[in-house]
Amino acid sequence: MYRYALPRGVGASGEEMYFKSLGAVALAISLFSTPALAQQGPTSTPTAEMAKLPSGAETPSQSGSVLSREDLEAWLDGYMPYALQRGDVAGAVVVVVKDGKVLLQKGYGHADVATGHRVDPEATLFRPGSVSKLFTWTAVMQLVQEGRIDLDRDVNTYLDFKIPPFDGQPVTMRNLMTHTPGFQDTFRDLMSGGPSGPSPLAQYLKQNLPVRVYPPGQVPAYSNYGVALAGYIVQRVSGQSFDDYIKQHIFAPLEMDHSTFQQPPPEALMPEVASGYERASEPAKPYELLTVGPAGGATTTGADMAKFMIALLQGGEYSGHRILKAATVHMMFETPWTTISPSLDRMLLGFYEYSRNNRRIIGHDGDTLWFHSVLQLFPDDQVGLFVSMNSIGNDGAARAIREGLIDGFADRYFPPGALSTSVVPVDVARLHGAMLAGDYDGSAQGSQSVPTNFMSLANLFEQNAVATDHSGDVFASSVLDLDGRPTRFKEIAPFVWQAVDGKEKLAAKVVDGRIVMWGVDGSSPYIVFMRTPAWRNAVWLLPLLAFSVIALLFSAMAWPIGVFVRWRYGVSHSLQGTVAWSCRWMRVGTAASGLLMLAWLTTIGAMAATFSFSSALDPWIVFLHVLSVVVFPAAALVSLWNAWTICTTRSGWRGTFALAWGGVLALSCLTLLWVALVFHLIGFSVAF
């Protein structure tokens, strides 16, 4: 449901990428004195060993195995128990459908570790996170085929509040379905509510309207808000609550009797809801309440998800009940939105396109804080796969287990054909690699616009570097293999690179002879990477910020030490008059500026580490904003005054040293003022 490093394979889901990025921010802030570490990606990377199959379950040769219940169960039984135990993941459900029937649905591990209650695919309810979005898009397309929603009409037609146009261009439902409305994603109060449930959807949408940072239809930028907005339109057009609409028009026809969007679930279902865990060896976490229900609020069983997959693969029909016309399903599956290159995975109408082993796969990933899921459909083979786990596990093990399973499934039953052996000439590869090299932001961060709120400071710790070597191969710091190393990509066509292991492609978009964005399989449907402007590039700004904070805090600590030493030995202050006053005010200003920046970094780091994005923090954020309006400009002015005073009144080696130190402090205060202005620490908005 939630969003930077992208280990090889399926790619991080939009929501997982965000939370991984914030984990990186939290670590980077804690290691602020060594800023280079902050640009190296996530706090931890799922280990390659976790994703490997145990010796008894290695995938076969290129010829593949026949997808049968017996072979599949033997393979899964050799993989899942081992992987869950090693990864400290409590439980999982795996469902595979084929040719309109359930081939296998099986639970592994525990739904509740404390009680010993094991996962039952028929009864245990999991939180599939953003896989829930597929129900929302199904509901939208039901209303489209009825003529009640137009994919290309201004969404304001259906709303009781207004989404402002961007350069005169309105947002359409097609934009929402392809993550191209141009919203900068918002996270304030994404998870909220008391025991009775989250805040009303309408209230959330009206109070948290995100900033528009791109023209609609041009740049994919993952947006939970956009999906929630689509769910609200379903509610408005149908005249039913979103939960009731899904229950009546999707869950009931498909006989999904153990599925709900109600939060918390009805009392009859609540006893079967799997507990969520950070690690299976730790206590269970509270039930997650998601304000943007249409974007990730479903609770369901493996058996119910099997029915949904069968309906999608069978042209919208299950057991004689139809939820979509076959032509509507075809439209959802066969309407790709190409942003960079058709060589990359693209966004369909609500579905991601995946490419693995030269097979076309469509589906969606989903991650809440504790649950990690994926749904994948092989339309040409009439096969569907759903996996959900109820723990993060050691070092993000659930991610590695999920990738190992979907990679292993595809390799075993849909083995790869011959990889492309075409390459561009070395001199061309070197030229194109040099064109691609540089620093980039993810599009969901609003990378080509001025940052819009204080949380944009986190972007400084998340920028992605692309490098090239003498052969023209390229490496992106955000695209890692399972050992945590940047994946090597070799150019196979102009501005199209393929990983040397053949698992994914990277491609760039060229405009007027300049690369303006690039994407990589797995994440390209919903996020691209765009050049970081030089004026806020972390390569120079992050080390300078670290140096500045350290210098200012050193100055702050030296002040009371100097006072104590002079008192202890009865020495009077050597400075008098204007010089003394400028020195005193400089010390006050630098101490206040350094401590205030430290407070901002600590606040953002704590929010990241604890995933606390509640409006309950508003008073503290407003307090920091008010201080920032006064302290950062005042400290910069006072430090410049002090440097000028030293320059005009002092001489000799003491004056030279004082001027040098005064210059360092002035530069530090100006740096903090620059950061405060660029990243909206100076301002009064509590939105993020």
| Lowest mean pLDDT across 181-190, 424-433, 530-539, 649-658 | 649-658
On the question of pLDDT at 634 being above 90, the answer is yes
pLDDT at residue 510, rounded to an integer: 95
pLDDT at residue 58, rounded to an integer: 41
Listed in sequence order, the DSSP H helices in 418-496 are: 426-436
pLDDT at residue 270, rounded to an integer: 96
Enclosing H/E stretch for 478: strand 474-480
pLDDT at residue 442, rounded to an integer: 86
Q: How far apart are CA 389 and CA 127, in angstroms?
A: 9
pLDDT, mean over the chain: 85
Count other Cβ atoms within 10 Å, centred on residue 236.
Answer: 15
On the question of pLDDT at 38 being above 50, the answer is no
Which of 94-103, 178-187, 332-341 has the highest average model confidence (pLDDT)? 94-103
Mean pLDDT of 641-652: 73
What are the tens digits of pLDDT across the range 176-234?
A: 999 999 998 777 777 765 455 566 899 999 988 998 889 999 999 999 999 999 999 99
Cβ contact 528:340 at 8 Å: yes
pLDDT at residue 254, rounded to an integer: 98
pLDDT at residue 656, rounded to an integer: 72
The C-alpha angle 501, 88, 522, rounded to 5 degrees, equals 30
pLDDT at residue 114, rounded to an integer: 96
Count other Cβ atoms within 10 Å, centred on residue 48.
Answer: 16
pLDDT at residue 617, rounded to an integer: 84
Q: How far apart are CA 17 and CA 32, in angstroms?
A: 22
Cβ contact 123:258 at 8 Å: yes
Provide the residue ranges of all domains of the chain, joining segments of one domain with +: 1-44+419-532, 46-89+393-417, 538-678
Side chain identity at residue 375, one-letter code: L
Mean pLDDT of 239-246: 97
pLDDT at residue 59, rounded to an integer: 37
On the question of pLDDT at 370 being above 90, the answer is yes
The C-alpha angle 488, 492, 497, rounded to 5 degrees, equals 40
Mean pLDDT of 568-596: 72
What are the tens digits of pLDDT across the range 424-476?
A: 999 999 999 999 999 998 887 655 555 678 888 888 888 899 999 999 999 99
Q: Is the model more confident about 247 or about 571?
A: 247
pLDDT at residue 451, rounded to an integer: 67
What 3-state class would DSSP assign to 604? helix
Count other Cβ atoms within 10 Å, centred on residue 360.
Answer: 15
Q: How far apart are CA 187 and CA 192, in angstroms?
A: 11
pLDDT band, residue 612 (cuts 50/70/90): confident
pLDDT at residue 562, rounded to an integer: 62
pLDDT at residue 51, rounded to an integer: 46
- Whether pTM exceeds 0.85: yes
